[in-house]
Amino acid sequence: MMQNSNSIYWDFLALIAGVLFTLAFAPFDYACLAVVGLTILYASWQHITPNRALLRGYWFGLGAFGLGVSWVYISIHDYGHAGIASASLLTALFVGFWALFPALTGWLSAKLKHPYSCVITLPLLWTLIDYFRGVMVLNGFPWLLGAYSQLESPLAGYIPVIGAYGTGFLLALTASVIVFMIRAKNRRLLSAAVVAVIWIAGGLLQTVTWTEKAGEPIRVSLVQGSITQDKKWLPENRLNTLLLYKKLTEAHWDSDVIIWPETAIPAFLSEVYEPFLLPLSETAKQHNTDLIISVPIEGKAEGEIYNGVITLGKDTGMYRKNHLLPFGEYLPWQPVSGFVLNALNINLGNFTPGGVEQPLLKAASYPFITSICYEDAFGDAAISGLPDAAFLVNVTNDGWFGNSIEPHQHLQIARMRAIETGRFLLRATNTGATAFVGPDGKIIKQAPLFKATVLTGSITPMRGMTPYARLGDKAVIDVLALLLIGLIIYDRRGSFRR
C-alpha cells in the first residue's frame, strides 16, 4: 500500500479519497468514510516530493469540495439568474479555490519528513490550515470540517471539551496513526492502542453532562413558511406572505415563544412595523407569548442595511447580523469582485455588519444567543453570550440552495453549536431544515423540507459552561500551534546533530 512513490494511480486515489471524505457528512452520513478518506490521502503523501503532495492534496480538495459544495451552482444559476456557463465557471472557481487548502497541507507535510514526528505534525498541519480556512480567509468558510461528520460517533464526546477543531484534530490523528501502523510493522500494537484510547475515551466523555436545567420547560413553535426564493421578494407576493405568517402564528398563541425564519418579512422593518408588526406584538403580549422575527433593517446612513432579528411581545429587542456571508451579503476583494459579477450580470446583497457588542435578546424571560444563517458555523460566536444565555436560536433561509445537500449539511453544522454550548437549539428556516436540537446535538423534532408548517415542541432552559465554552477555539488552536512549532524545532535539531 505504501509503495506509491510518484504513481499516477495514487493521484487518482487522492481524488476518490476526497469524494469519500464528503460522503461522511450529511445527508450521506457514512461517518467512517472520513477516516477512510483521510487515511488514503495521508498514505498518498508518503515518500513523495512536496510538489507531488501538493497535487494530490489539490485532487483531494476537488473531490471533497466538488461534491460537498456543489449547491453553489443552484444559488448562482437558479436564484442569481446567471447563465449556465457563468454559473459553472463561478462554481468551478469556488471549488478550485477551497481545494488549495488541502493542497497546501500536502506540500507542507512533505517538507516535514521525519518518520515519527510526522505522525503528529501532519494532523496538526491539517487542523491549523482548516482553522485558517474556516476563520480567517474571506471571513471564514468552515464547511466540511472533519468533526461535523462525527456527531454520531464516539468522537462527539470531545466536542463540548475541545470543540470542532480539537475534535477534528483527533479525527486526523486517527488517520495518521493508521497510516503509520501500516508502515511500521513492528509498532502496530502500539498504534492500534493509541487509536483505541482516542475513540474509547470519546465514548466515555459522551456520558458526561456538562450543563444543567435552569428552569421549567418552554413551549416553542417554529414557523416554516416554505416560500421559494424566486417568489419571496416579488412585490405582488408581499401581502400573501405576511398573511401566511400571521395565520400560522395565530394558531399557536398557546406557545411561550414563536419563531419565524430569516428575512421572513420581505420588506424593511420601517415599512411594516406600524401597520403589521405593532398590532401583532400587542396580540402576542395579550397571550403572554414572545415573537422572534427576522426582517431587513435600514440604518441611519445611506445604503446602511442590516439583516436583523427583532423580538416582539413581552420582551422587545433587536439583533443585527454581524458575521456576513462573502459574495452573498457583501463583496470582498473590491473592486475586482464587483466588476466580475457585474460583467456576469449577477446581483448580490450588500449588508452592513451589526457589530460584536450587542446585548442578548430575551424570550420567555430568558436571554438567548441569536445567529442568522451562516453565523451558526462559527463556534466562538455561539459561546460569546455564555453563561447568560439559556438556549440558542438560529434563523436561516436555505431556500437559496433548493433541494440540494446544503440544508442537511447546514443543520449538521448547527447541531455542533448545541453540543459545544450544552444548550437546546431552536432552528427556524424558510424551506428547511427546521428543527429542535438537544444539548447533545440529537435532533428532537424536524419539519419536512419544502412544506409550509409549524413545528411545536418544548425545550428546557439550561445553565452552566462546557469546557469548550470556557476555552473557545483560540485556546485549542494556540496549543496545537505551539505543539507543531515544538515538533519542528525538535526535528531540525535532530537533523542538525545527524
Active-site residue set: 262, 321, 373
Residues ≥6 apart with Cβ < 8 Å to 144: 21, 22, 25, 64, 65, 68, 69
- With H, G, I as helix, E, B as strand and everything else as coil, classify residue 164: helix
Distance, in Å, from the CA atom of 369 to the CA atom of 393, rounded to the nearest integer, reads 6
* Amino acid at site 287: H
CB 390 within 8 A of CB 423: yes
Query: Phi and psi of 4, rounded to 5°?
Result: -95, -35
Task: Return the closest-CA partner of residue 97 out of 333, 298, 286.
Answer: 333
**84: exposed, middle or buried (Cβ count in 10 Å: 0-12, 13-18, 19+):** exposed
Residues in the chain: 498
3-state SS string for 412-477: HHHHHHHHHHCCCEEEEECCCCCEEECCCCCEEEECCCCCCEEEEEEECCEECCCHHHHHHHHHHH
Distance, CA of 392 to CA of 332 (rounded, Å): 29
On the CB side of 127, how many CA atoms lie within 13 Å of its CA? 32
Q: CA distances (Å), 26 to each of 23, 98, 412, in order?
A: 8, 19, 7
SS3 254: coil
- Edge-first strand listing for the sheet containing 290-298: 317-320, 305-313, 290-298, 257-259, 218-224, 453-459
In this structure, what C-alpha cell is assigned to residue 107? 506540500
Exposed, middle or buried by CB within 10 Å (0-12, 13-18, 19+), for 463? middle
SS3 166: helix
Burial-class residue 449 by CB neighbours within 10 Å (0-12, 13-18, 19+): middle
Which pairing describes strands 391-396 and 425-429: parallel, antiparallel, or unpaired?
Answer: parallel
For residues 204 and 208, what is the distance between their CA atoms, to the nearest angstrom? 8
